């Protein structure tokens, strides 16, 4: 079956567009499976592909990753193979969060220890330490800790030179959206946390836009199979 969104798919383009529309409405995989007749396993497989595309889209627009209009790098964990490899559920990575021109951006910090961060915030470690420089902590408004469900505020520390005038409100709204997802999905394991953080970033930054049209445009330029480690297949009788 020819499908411009996913090479080798057994769903029609119409069915994929329906799934994407329901994804944009932020329904769960179980709800969408009930509405569409597509199995929950297949819905989740498509969700992972869509979220991987969203993550790449967000990374490509992260000011810390772009220099003079040229993408400096895309973190390795945006690749489909890295996303497929679950992180340990015993320790989730911290995320640096900052605001620029009314948009929130997040950066995964897998090696930054929460205990070190606490010591630094309490002044037990000098601000000029190698870790501060390595993670460019002076650029962030906050550090999201999903192990303790806490946002460490960095306001006033090292100047936060990227943050804008209304960064506090934007960060609080973004963090509230992330916590709502934790409740909605009954917690997020290490293997999917990054994708949900990036999805929340996308939904926040484009909350005034039609994200369904945005996603269709993104997928026209770069179909789902470019992020696909395996063929997602399911036939729908009579569809």
pLDDT tens string 137-178? 888 989 999 888 899 988 655 444 444 445 678 899 999 999
228 touches 53 (CB < 8 A) = no
User: Residue ranges per domain, the chain?
Assistant: 1-76+206-239, 90-188
Dihedral angle computed from the Cα positions of residues 22, 23, 27 and 33, in that order, rounded to the nearest 10 degrees: 70
Dihedral angle computed from the Cα positions of residues 230, 75, 106 and 80, in that order, rounded to the nearest 10 degrees: 0
pLDDT tens string 90-146? 788 899 999 988 899 999 988 888 888 888 888 887 766 788 878 888 889 899 998
Query: Would you call 77 helix, strand, or coil by DSSP?
Result: helix
Comparing CA positions, the residue from 154, 160, 120, 170 lying closest to residue 139 is 160
Question: Poorest-confidence range of 67-71, 87-91, 231-235?
Answer: 231-235
Q: Is the pTM of this model over 0.75?
A: yes
Strand spans (E) along 41-153? 66-67, 70-71, 94-100, 103-109, 142-145, 150-153
Q: How many CB atoms lie within 10 A of CB 87?
A: 18
Q: What band does 24 get if pLDDT is binned at 50, 70 and 90?
A: very high
Q: What band does 239 get if pLDDT is binned at 50, 70 and 90?
A: very low
């Amino acid at each position: 079956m020819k499908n411009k969104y996913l090479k080798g798919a057994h769903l029609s383009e119409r069915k994929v567009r329906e799934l994407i529309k329901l994804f944009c409405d932020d329904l769960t995989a179980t709800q969408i499976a009930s509405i569409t007749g597509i199995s929950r396993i297949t819905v989740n497989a498509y969700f992972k592909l869509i979220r991987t595309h969203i993550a790449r889209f967000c990374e490509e627009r992260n000011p810390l990753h772009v220099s003079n209009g040229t993408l400096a790098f895309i973190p390795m964990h945006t690749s489909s193979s890295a996303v497929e490899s679950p992180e340990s559920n015993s320790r989730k990575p911290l995320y640096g969060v900052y605001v620029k021109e009314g948009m929130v951006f997040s950066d995964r910090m897998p090696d930054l220890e929460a205990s070190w961060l606490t010591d630094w915030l309490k002044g037990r470690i000098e601000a000029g330490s190698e870790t501060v420089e390595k993670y460019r902590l002076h650029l962030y408004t906050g550090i999201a800790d999903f192990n303790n469900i806490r946002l460490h505020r960095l306001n006033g520390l090292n100047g936060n030179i990227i943050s804008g005038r209304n960064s506090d409100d934007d960060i609080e709204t973004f963090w509230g959206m992330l916590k709502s997802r934790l409740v909605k999905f009954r917690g997020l394991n290490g293997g999917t946390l990054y994708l949900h953080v990036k999805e929340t970033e996308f939904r926040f930054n484009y909350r005034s836009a039609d994200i369904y049209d945005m996603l269709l445009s993104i997928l026209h330029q770069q179909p789902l199979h470019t992020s696909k480690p395996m063929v997602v297949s399911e036939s729908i009788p009579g569809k």
